[in-house]
Amino acid sequence: MQKFQVDEQSHIEFWQWQRHDLVKPKNTWFIAGIGGPGGQIDSDIVDEFVSIFDQYATSVDQLIIGQIRGHGKSNELECLYNESYSACRKRIVDSGIDVTHYHFMTYAQDFNALRSHLNIDQWSIYGVSYSGRVAGAMLLTDSQNISAVLLDSPVSLFPEQTTDAPIIQAKALYKFRAACLLIKSCLGNFSNRNKQKKLDQFIDNFEQSNVYMKGLNNVGLTKYLWSV
């Protein structure tokens, strides 16, 4: 495990695996944290990811696994045993931690900075559950340096909702767009009108020929099926 200082007060943890001792790996995949928010990566999870990529993704010669800020060994956001949410939040805020720095756009910016720090020109991103939102934010803010994105279960699908899978997938993207519109730092260099346009283009990208979405029971999804 290594550490990368993202600003004066915060760092993130990351793990780096290479298939061969290469000076410049050609095919890098990045794991953008795991579910949550609150999910933490440990050595067992790292070993599992490495084993999967080593055995089944033989074209991948480098794997980077990132821990979102505030998690892992730093654990500045961890609540104490049996501590209520309100008491936990008050204790964290009173300690001087700015909780507004902990959201998916900040996590995306951290990981974009990590890519630059590691001198990686292009990488592909895997996001599972909540980290699917982080991966989406990375695609939104650093698309020119991303080769591919795999979003695994970006929203929860309960058994009784299987027939509504396309609608739920659509709502996940629209929820992402709504959150970005409310966060000033999300596409902060754009006017509200241009921000809306860019977010609409981001959602439209899921209709491109090189994008394949699958729902429960291996059902292919297309935006034309969405009715929200």
pLDDT of residue 103: 82
CA distance 111 to 148: 15
pTM for the model stands at 0.69
Per-residue confidence in pLDDT tens, the chain, 228 aa: 888 777 777 788 899 999 987 778 889 988 888 776 667 888 898 999 999 999 988 899 999 999 988 777 666 677 777 888 888 888 888 988 887 778 888 889 999 999 999 999 999 999 888 888 888 888 888 888 998 888 776 655 444 444 455 555 666 677 777 878 887 777 778 888 888 888 887 777 666 655 555 554 455 545 444 333
CA distance 134 to 132: 5
User: What single-letter amino acid sits at 7?
Assistant: D
What are the DSSP E strand ranges found in 67-175?
123-128, 146-152
Query: Hey, where are the domains in the chain?
Result: 2-154, 167-228
Distances (CA, A) of 189 to 54, 102, 104, 169, 186: 40, 20, 18, 28, 8
CB 28 within 8 A of CB 120: yes
CA distance 64 to 18: 9
Q: CATH classification of 2-154 is 3.40.50.1820, yes or no?
A: yes
